[in-house]
Amino acid sequence: MYLILEKLTQRFGDKIVVESVTIDVQQGQLVTLLGPSGCGKTTLLKMIGGFLKPVAGRIVLDGVDITNLPPEQRSVATVFQNYALFPHMTVLENVMYGLRYKPGYSKKITKELAKKMLELVHLQDLYAQNVTRISGGQQQRVALARALILSPKVLLLDEPLSNLDAKLRIKIRQEIKDIQNKLGMTMLFVTHDQEEALSLSDRIVVMNRGKVEQIGTPQDIYSNPQNEFVANFVGRANLIQTTTGTTFIRPENLIPVETGGDYQGVIVQKQYMGSYTIYYIDTKKMILQMDVQNLEDNDWNLGQVLQLKVE
Ligand SMILES: Nc1ncnc2c1ncn2[C@@H]1O[C@H](COP(=O)(O)OP(=O)(O)OP(=O)(O)O)[C@@H](O)[C@H]1O
């Protein structure tokens, strides 16, 4: 394994915020840490970046134990949520900054490399602009180029898209994925957005209250959530109590049928979502959610009784 986090633990005062977290990351993979606010994602990144010393556990990168190395001695770069750019510098100067004291990088070489990085993030035409004069999406691309120029063994991204509007978020996340594929770079991406995690990741680590709940491919996590927390946090789920425990049905796996349904109930609410509609169906025991594509004839009214089959 390329990056190994072994039983990493962090505590602030009496409060344990990361508890014995073990994660393996393969070289060239993009792994997301997904979880609600406060679950310890940023704290975990800070330990990997060297900004916080773990109270227990080990971090091994490419065969070297980096647990106690200072940030500048680990081959790890971070892209922050707030970009952290230098406002008095141009786009190009910001990207060049990271290599300013690195042996072997003359100003000329650094400039050439920085221009290459700006091409990679599609900003080559803006290199002379002051960073305060460009949009939020462009600033985030500068932050990315500034981290990439260091050619780190691992790139950490801490909610890098959360300050952008929905459309731009989707565009830039695709660009990050493209760059990751192109460079074969190992990335650890923090997000609380399940759609972002599902669409970007080779593997997802679902975290809750400082602990790992499940690790798997997006398909694994969505189709086989191992507990109630994961089923609810990643996608929506109907939780069904059975004699042996709790199971779940995804809303898109319920379909209306004329007869022989597994459930029957009254439509008590419906939400139009564009390409599909969410129906809320009261079976008297619970309220089930059913997603139906908005095609012709797929329309039912409040108060109507429906039979539902599990697909
Ligand atoms: N320096 C600190 N001192 C005390 N408590 C802290 C410190 N840093 C973080 N915490 C606490 O540790 C917990 C985990 O914080 P962390 O920032 O890692 O969570 P997160 O999952 O990244 O959340 P968010 O998505 O909101 O950034 C929180 O309860 C937070 O209040």
| 224-252 per-position pLDDT tens digit | 999 999 999 999 999 998 888 888 999 99
Residue 49 CA to ligand 1 centre (angstroms): 16
Helices (H) and strands (E) in the chain, counts: 8, 17
Please tell me the predicted confidence (pLDDT) of residue 98. Answer: 82
Query: Residue 24 is encoded by which pair of tokens?
Result: 């393996």
- List of long-range contacts for 172-181, beta carbons under 8 Å, 24+ apart: 172/137, 172/140, 172/141, 173/199, 173/200, 175/121, 175/122, 175/141, 176/144, 176/200, 177/30, 179/120, 179/121, 179/144, 179/148, 180/30
Ligand 1 binding pocket includes 41 (Cβ within 6 Å): yes
Whole-prediction pTM: 0.90
Average pLDDT over residues 261-286: 95
Give CA separation, 17 vs 13, 214, 218, in Å: 10, 17, 25
Q: 195: pLDDT confidence band, cut at 50, 70 and 90?
A: very high
Q: 168: pLDDT confidence band, cut at 50, 70 and 90?
A: confident
Helices of type H across 103-204: 107-120, 136-148, 166-183, 194-200
Ligand 1 binding pocket includes 192 (Cβ within 6 Å): yes
Q: What is the pLDDT of residues 105-133, one digit of tens each?
A: 889 999 999 999 999 999 999 999 999 99
Q: Which of 180, 275, 197, 144 is nearest to 33 (CA)?
A: 197
> Looking at this protein, which amino acid is placed at residue 156?
L
Please tell me the predicted confidence (pLDDT) of residue 202. Answer: 97
Q: Is the confidence at residue 296, as pLDDT, over 80?
A: no
Please tell me the predicted confidence (pLDDT) of residue 285. Answer: 92
Exposure on the CB side of residue 284, measured as CA atoms within 13 A: 5
Give CA separation, 279 vs 134, 220, 240, 245, in Å: 43, 26, 17, 25
Q: Which of 206, 211, 205, 190 is nearest to 19 (CA)?
A: 211
Nearest ligand 1 atom to the CA of 190 is 22
Query: Count of CB atoms within 10 A of residue 197's CB?
Result: 26
Query: Count of CB atoms within 10 A of residue 6's CB?
Result: 17
Ligand 1 binding pocket includes 38 (Cβ within 6 Å): yes
> Looking at this protein, which amino acid is placed at residue 104?
G
Ligand 1 binding pocket includes 210 (Cβ within 6 Å): no
Q: Is the confidence at residue 268, as pLDDT, over 80?
A: yes
Q: 170: pLDDT confidence band, cut at 50, 70 and 90?
A: very high
What average pLDDT does the chain have?
93
Query: Residue 95 is encoded by which pair of tokens?
Result: 């990207």
Q: Is the confidence at residue 9, as pLDDT, over 80?
A: yes
Q: Is the confidence at residue 84, as pLDDT, over 90?
A: no
Of 30 and 298, the structure prediction assigns the larger pLDDT to 30
